[in-house]
Every structure is written in C-alpha cells, then in structure tokens.
Amino acid sequence: MKVGVVGVGCSKFGRRDDVTLQELAFEAVSEALSDANMTQDDIDISVVGCVGTRSYELMPAVPVNEYCGFAGKGPLRVEAACATGSAAVYTAYSSIVSGIADVAIAIGVEKMTEVETAVSLAIGGRAGNYLWEFHQYGTTFPAYYAMHATAHMAKYGTTEEQLALVAVKAHRNAAKNPKAHFQKEITVEDVLNSRMITYPLKLYDCCPISDGASAAILASEEKVKELGLDAVWIEGIGYSSDTSNMTRRENFVGLKATVDAAKMAYKMAKIDDPLNQFDLATVHDCFTIAEIMAYEDLGFCRKGEGGKFIESGESDLGGKLPVNTFGGLKAKGHPLAATGVAMVYEIVKQLREEAGSLQVDLKNYRALMHNVGGTGHFCWVFVFRR
Amino acid sequence: MKVGVVGVGCSKFGRRDDVTLQELAFEAVSEALSDANMTQDDIDISVVGCVGTRSYELMPAVPVNEYCGFAGKGPLRVEAACATGSAAVYTAYSSIVSGIADVAIAIGVEKMTEVETAVSLAIGGRAGNYLWEFHQYGTTFPAYYAMHATAHMAKYGTTEEQLALVAVKAHRNAAKNPKAHFQKEITVEDVLNSRMITYPLKLYDCCPISDGASAAILASEEKVKELGLDAVWIEGIGYSSDTSNMTRRENFVGLKATVDAAKMAYKMAKIDDPLNQFDLATVHDCFTIAEIMAYEDLGFCRKGEGGKFIESGESDLGGKLPVNTFGGLKAKGHPLAATGVAMVYEIVKQLREEAGSLQVDLKNYRALMHNVGGTGHFCWVFVFRR
C-alpha cells in the first residue's frame, strides 16, 4: 500500500519561552491541518514524538494530544533520541499500511531550554549505555563527534576549513528561512575563530539547543484519491541501530547505522545512484563533521571525500545535490523530536515547489531524508517522491 | 495479513535490586527467544516499551537493545504510561503488517524502585496535563481512582467488600504464580483492615510498585508457516485516548477510553458476546475499582453490575470468564511497561495450556487483553486466538 504525506507544518525554531510544550506542538499541528485542508476529525491516529528529557512534562503525549484536539486518537508516544521524529513518521506510516488508520499525524515536539544548557549537554552525552566515558572524562555530546572529526582528519586529511564550510552553508540557507533559529550568515573565519568546544569542534561547528515542533499528516493512497489531495509519497524506509559501546565500533570515520539504514531504504525504493536520483537531501548535521560523514555513508561520494564534496559546492543550492536547504540542524536548529518531522516539512515544501528563495531545481521529484539518534545509536533513512 | 505471537517471556516481578534495567529485560527476552526457538539473528525489529520516569536511564532503548543483542535492530522506544506494553505490541504488529519486518519483538521493561515510593506516586498523579489537582489537593494516582470508586458506590451501591473481593481473587491466583510480586493469599477482612490510602481505597486495593520485564515475539503468517511455529494470532486491536482534564469527563463510573477501544477491537475481531466468546481476560486492575469498571466497560456485564459480577465468582478460575488468572496488576505486580506485554505472556501460556495449576478451560481458544494508561488517558484492547 502506498502512503503519502498530505500536509505539513512547522513552528518557529529557537528559544521559545513564550509557549508551553503543547502550545508549541499546536503551532505545527494547526499549520499541517490547514495545509491538508483537514480538521482533527479527519485524523485516525496521532503519534507524538518527544524525547522529553529536557522539559518538565514526563508523559508529553497526554497534554500534546489534549491541547491539539486529539484526545481519543493519540494512544502512544515514540522516542529514538535525536531520531525521534523519524520514529514518529515511521509509526504513522506503519499504522496506515497495517490498516489501523487511513489518516495519521506524526508530531515531533521538544522544549529544550527548560533545563540549563550544561545539564542538557551532559544528558546528551549520556544517551544510553555510556559506560565510563562520562564519569571518567566528562565526555559530553560534542566530544563524541570530536572523536569522529579527529579520526576523519587523521585518516583522510579533512581540514577544519572544510568542516567550517558546512556551517557556512547551513547559515546561508537558514538566513532565508524565517522559521530557522539563526538567520545570520557567517564566514569560514567566524567559525575558525569561534570558541573551542572540543578540538577540533568550535562553537559554530555545533548545532544549537532549540525549542520547536513539526507535524506531518500521512494518508493511504485510497484516501489521497478520495479527497483529491496532493501527496508526496514514501517510497523507501530504512532503519538501523548500532552498539552504544564506542569501543566495539570498527572505526570512527563514519556511522555504520547510516550505511545500513540507507542500504535498506535504497533497496525498497530501488535507488542505486543517490547523487543523481535525488533533487535534495536532508542529512543529520548535529555537528559539521556529521554532515561530511553523511555525504560518504549515504553514497553521495566515496569514503574520505566528504571534505572535498562540501568544497565542490555540489551540496549548495544550485549544486548537483543540495543538502539541508532550510539550514539543517546546525542553523535551523535541532529540537530533538521535531528535527525528523521538520525534514519531512522541508522535503514536502521543496517537492511541491513552495520553498521560495530556497527552492531547488526539480528533475527527479525525489528527496532523501537521514536522521540520526545519539552517537549513531539510531538511524532512519526515508525516500520521498512526488 | 495475519500476525501471531510465537514466543513469550516474563521476568520475576517484584523489588529487583539484583539487576539493572537491561539485565531485567534480558530475563524476559532470553525466555521469549528460547520459547520461539529463535536467536537474536531471527529478529528484524525490536520495539522497547519503557516509561522510564522512575529509573535513571533516560533513553532506555539503547542499553536494553545493546545488552539483549539487538544493536542494529532496535530503532525506537514507545511510551503510553501504564499502557506502554500494549503500545510496544502494537508497534511490533504494525511493523510486520506494513512489511518492514517478518519477525518483531516487543519488550516491556520497568525499574520502578530506583526512586522513592512517595516521589513515584506523585509522578504517577502527574501523568499528563494534571491542571490544578496536584498542586491544589496533592492528588496522586490512588486519589483519581478513589473518585471512580466513590462515584460507583454512590450511583450503583457498589460496596467496599466487593472491591476487596477483586484483591482477594488476585492474591489467590498470584499465590500460585512463582513470577508474581506477592505470593500470599489474603482475606476480605485483610483488605478492609488494611491502611486507608484514599477513601475508599485501602492499601490492599492498590497495586504495588514493582520492577519487571516481559517480552513477546510476533511473526507474520508466512514466517509462522515457514518455521512450523505454534502461534497465538492477533485477531483484533483497538485503542483510544481520553481527555486528561477530569472536569471534561461525562462521569466517573467508567472509562470512555475502554468502551471505545473495546468497540474498535470487537469490530475487527467480530466479537458481539464477550462473556461467551472468550476463555479468559486480562484487565487493567491497577486499583480494585478499575477491574470492576472494566467488567462493565468491556461488556462482561451491564453498567453498574460489576460489583455483583465479582461476587458471582464468574471471573474466578472455574467461572464463566476467568479474569487476571496470573494475579493481575494487583498481586502479580505492575511494572508499567512490562504489564501489557506480561498480559500477552499470560494469554499465550493459557491458550497453549501451559498455565499449570492456573490453567483455564479452553472452549473458544480466544482471550481478551485490556490495558489502560494514566487515569484512562490511554487504552488498548487486543483479541487473541489460537
């Protein structure tokens, strides 16, 4: 059975002291309902994605569904660390294919600024079985990705300037996205001169701590036809999860979970040449090195050539395969559970040619989505086509 | 597509200071794998159910999958308060029907004794949008169900002795279940004389705070045939969720979410006479009044006659429809996420005639499962048949 995305919504990302968790969710939900020309009555199941460790709501699905008008329709929450949004989209998808629902909404919402940033980062570093790293070395989240960066630099000669280019591109795109956390362009020098967090990652190599929400309404093919809706179809889904014990990983120059999840999604969607079969990609750029590894692990270039790929401009708007056209986690912001669903928002807007000054050229009408949780513990890859 | 349960496992429930969260999960997982004659390699997706608010693991799916051998296969956690186990079984089910997996494992695990009981109960009362009740009146979880009990007593003449009979039956069954938290029979007098918690609920009207885990392996019909497995099939699934704003509910003598979820599941499984079409039922007896309301809301008797139904002995072993044959939440224990999956364990053991001294008579080879989250915020109903 084919399942299509028929409505999307996204809140302003950033520091959102002005709203509660459920009010934030409603910003995205109400936009998605309008976009699909639907009301709450048309939705059969609501899947709420929320990591929740950084806000005060312990069981967030209850108030989110209550406030958004889905009491009676929201029987579960999902969580997969930073890939929670993808898990919500997957659960909405499988609810439709399994015949339980005709129309499903996936909501990703996160308030991350209700606890102090230092605490938040410490918690981030403790995504799962952290063994001794946190207690012994105080290893927080940036430190894990710094290990990836140093390994990549040592093995492939990737430079700090190449890492910086990822941030520069992200900020350039985000500057044109009114919903982005940051709307300010930066230069390579700004990145290189910014405060060192964990060598070689500096402040501008890291995504911010953001609040935000996004929502996507999915419908069965039958429902799409019945209502005459404009759908962006899900052609492929892949997932994986990797050991959280870093000492068991073969190397640090890529994420095995990304490679495995992409293989699964590409097989389902019959993709064998990703660089030429997609019009855009959203990849998980929590740190600049993460985007460079994603280029390689997703097959846009060979292993080790990610640094050259960003230099080539092929992932820029106007390049062969624009990546993170709305600013990425790096500059649009990364409210954990909202991120995966916001990637669907970006893809749907692009494939419908509604992206304004950030619009990519459409040839294949096909887009790739890549969302990672933890330090590569979770990974989801989706293929969309209009 | 038909989906069957082909392997089940359950840990000892109780205070489990001897194990970590992941070790506890593994007790159930290893039993389920042996039961299905499978290894981790046979599993395509692992769905971890864990509420997690009462233990120190913030993202429990990561260490649980790591320790249980599902790294690479466990891309998400689900949560639906006390109905989390059902949400895990549902997600495993829909993963198979949607073609993403042939074999899926649903794991429900909870460590509840890592925080103090008083804190735990306070958190319980705050499942969702608690409005002013908690701050104004200190309303914890038993107080919500006490409102149901007083409403039921006022409207239908239900007595404290009838409530006590639910606890007596639960303890009688649990006494024969070596995995139960409590293995001691009690009398109506014991219940009536136990410490008052919130009128009319006394200590023995309330389920305990337990640690525990359970696991169920589900497989597609094709896989069941291919491997020649003995399956208990899922014939019906229903869910609902209700407003968490108690002031918006029509009455307190039942749970609308149960009525709605049962309607959905009964329609799918073509059930019109539950009292005579099931050989046993597991219902959500977090407090004794909850089981009495469940009899009515699930259609075993008319509204208001639940008190008489427990008195009649029809829900005892040997009665027309034995309920909670392994001791229920009340005496077997209620490790939140483990509860729903442990209901599947009980049903599979019963329908396979492996329940020993707790075995029910089998005529229909059909069983009902009912699992509630929060104060009726979430509800899942399943129909199983061998």
ipTM of the predicted structure? 0.95
User: If you average pLDDT over residues A32-49, what whole number do you get?
Assistant: 98
Sign of the torsion angle spanned by Cα atoms A106, A67, A178, A117: negative
* Rounded-to-integer distance, Cα A274 and Cα A289, Å: 20
Cβ distance B127 to A77 less than 8 Å, yes or no, reads no
DSSP string for residues in A161-224: HHHHHHHHHHHHHHTT-TTSS------HHHHHHSPEEETTEEGGGB----BEEEEEEEEEHHHH
Report how far apart, in Å, the C-alpha atoms of B257 and of each of A71, A183, B30, B84, B241 are.
Answer: 10, 45, 34, 15, 5
Of B10, B7, B306, which Cα lies nearest the Cα of B180? B10
Q: Do B233 and B129 touch, CB atoms closer than 8 A?
A: no
Alpha helices in B272-367 (DSSP H): 274-277, 288-297, 306-312, 336-351
Neighbours of B39 (CB within 10 A): 10
Q: What is the pLDDT of residue B247?
A: 81
B58 chain-A contacts, CB cut-off 8 A: 53, 123, 126-127
A181 as an active site residue: the answer is no
B94 chain-A contacts, CB cut-off 8 A: 91, 94-95, 97-98, 100
Cβ distance B58 to A58 less than 8 Å, yes or no, reads no
Read off the tokens for B373: 């989250």
Catalytic residue among A152, A334, A370, A377: A334
Nearest to A75 among B65, B75, B240 (CB): B240
* Rounded-to-integer distance, Cα B370 and Cα B380, Å: 6
Cβ distance A62 to B73 less than 8 Å, yes or no, reads no
User: If you average pLDDT over residues A223-249, what whole number do you get?
Assistant: 93
Q: What is the pLDDT of residue A313?
A: 98
A78 chain-B contacts, CB cut-off 8 A: 76-79, 91
Q: What's the length of chain B?
A: 386
A81 chain-B contacts, CB cut-off 8 A: 59, 62
Nearest to A77 among B73, B80, B99 (CB): B80
User: If you average pLDDT over residues A168-194, what whole number do you get?
Assistant: 98
A80 chain-B contacts, CB cut-off 8 A: 61, 75-77
Catalytic residue among A82, A206, A286, A301: A82
From A344's Cα to the closest Cα of chain B, the distance in A is 18
From B254's Cα to the closest Cα of chain A, the distance in A is 15
Q: Do A297 and A254 touch, CB atoms closer than 8 A?
A: yes
Element (H, E) at A86: helix A84-97
From A152's Cα to the closest Cα of chain B, the distance in A is 23
Mean pLDDT of chain A: 94
* Rounded-to-integer distance, Cα A212 and Cα B157, Å: 50
Of B16, B19, B4, B101, which Cα lies nearest the Cα of B68? B19
Interface test with chain A among B46, B47, B55, B58, by most A beta carbons within 10 Å: B58
- Chain A residue with CA closest to B89: the answer is A76
- Position A259 pLDDT exceeds 90: yes
Catalytic residue among B10, B68, B82, B286: B82
From A27's Cα to the closest Cα of chain B, the distance in A is 18
Cβ distance A241 to B128 less than 8 Å, yes or no, reads no
Which residue would you say has higher pLDDT here, A237 or A56? A237
Mention every residue, 6+ apart, whose C-beta is less than 8 A from residue B154: none
User: If you average pLDDT over residues B202-219, what whole number do you get?
Assistant: 97
Q: Do A218 and A384 touch, CB atoms closer than 8 A?
A: no
Mention every residue, 6+ apart, whose C-beta is less than 8 A from residue A280: A321, A322, A323, A325, A347, A350, A360, A367, A368
From B71's Cα to the closest Cα of chain A, the distance in A is 5
* Rounded-to-integer distance, Cα A368 and Cα A232, Å: 12
User: If you average pLDDT over residues A12-25, what whole number do you get?
Assistant: 96
Cβ distance A78 to B76 less than 8 Å, yes or no, reads yes
B73 chain-A contacts, CB cut-off 8 A: 240-241
The residue behind tokens 């249980």 is: B68
Report how far apart, in Å, the C-alpha atoms of A287 and of each of A141, A194, A291, A307, B165 are.
Answer: 10, 14, 7, 14, 59
Q: What is the pLDDT of residue B134?
A: 67
B240 chain-A contacts, CB cut-off 8 A: 72-73, 75
A301-347 confidence digits (pLDDT tens): 999 999 999 999 999 999 999 999 999 999 999 999 999 999 999 99
Cβ distance B72 to A242 less than 8 Å, yes or no, reads yes
Nearest to A100 among B62, B83, B94 (CB): B94
DSSP letter for B13, please. P
Q: What is the pLDDT of residue A327?
A: 98
Percent of all residues in chain B with a pLDDT value above 70, rounded to a whole number: 94
Q: Do B73 and B46 touch, CB atoms closer than 8 A?
A: yes
- Position B361 pLDDT exceeds 90: yes
Cβ distance B72 to A377 less than 8 Å, yes or no, reads no
Q: What is the pLDDT of residue A140?
A: 78
Q: What is the pLDDT of residue A178?
A: 98
- Position A129 pLDDT exceeds 60: no
Nearest to B94 among A84, A98, A242 (CB): A98
Cβ distance B76 to A62 less than 8 Å, yes or no, reads no
Cβ distance A59 to B77 less than 8 Å, yes or no, reads no
Read off the tokens for B225: 């045939």
Least confident range of A70-79, A355-364, B135-144, B284-293: B135-144
Q: What is the pLDDT of residue A376?
A: 86
B241 chain-A contacts, CB cut-off 8 A: 62, 65, 70-75
Is the pTM above the cut of 0.90?
A: yes
Neighbours of A228 (CB within 10 A): 7
User: If you average pLDDT over residues B198-206, what whole number do you get?
Assistant: 97
B372-381 confidence digits (pLDDT tens): 998 888 999 9
Q: Which amino acid is at B224?
A: V
Sign of the torsion angle spanned by Cα atoms A154, A310, A343, A320: negative
B21 chain-A contacts, CB cut-off 8 A: none
A82 as an active site residue: the answer is yes
Cβ distance A53 to B66 less than 8 Å, yes or no, reads no
Mention every residue, 6+ apart, whose C-beta is less than 8 A from residue B118: none
From B151's Cα to the closest Cα of chain A, the distance in A is 23
**pLDDT range class, residue B117, cuts 50, 70, 90:** low
Nearest to B79 among A67, A77, A240 (CB): A77
Nearest to B241 among A75, A79, A84 (CB): A75
Burial (CB < 10 A; 0-12, 13-18, 19+), residue B41, is exposed
* Rounded-to-integer distance, Cα A293 and Cα A375, Å: 13
* Rounded-to-integer distance, Cα B106 and Cα A122, Å: 30
Nearest to A59 among B75, B81, B239 (CB): B81
The beta strands (E) that lie in B205-276 are given as: 212-220, 232-241
Cβ distance B62 to A127 less than 8 Å, yes or no, reads yes
**pLDDT range class, residue B127, cuts 50, 70, 90:** low
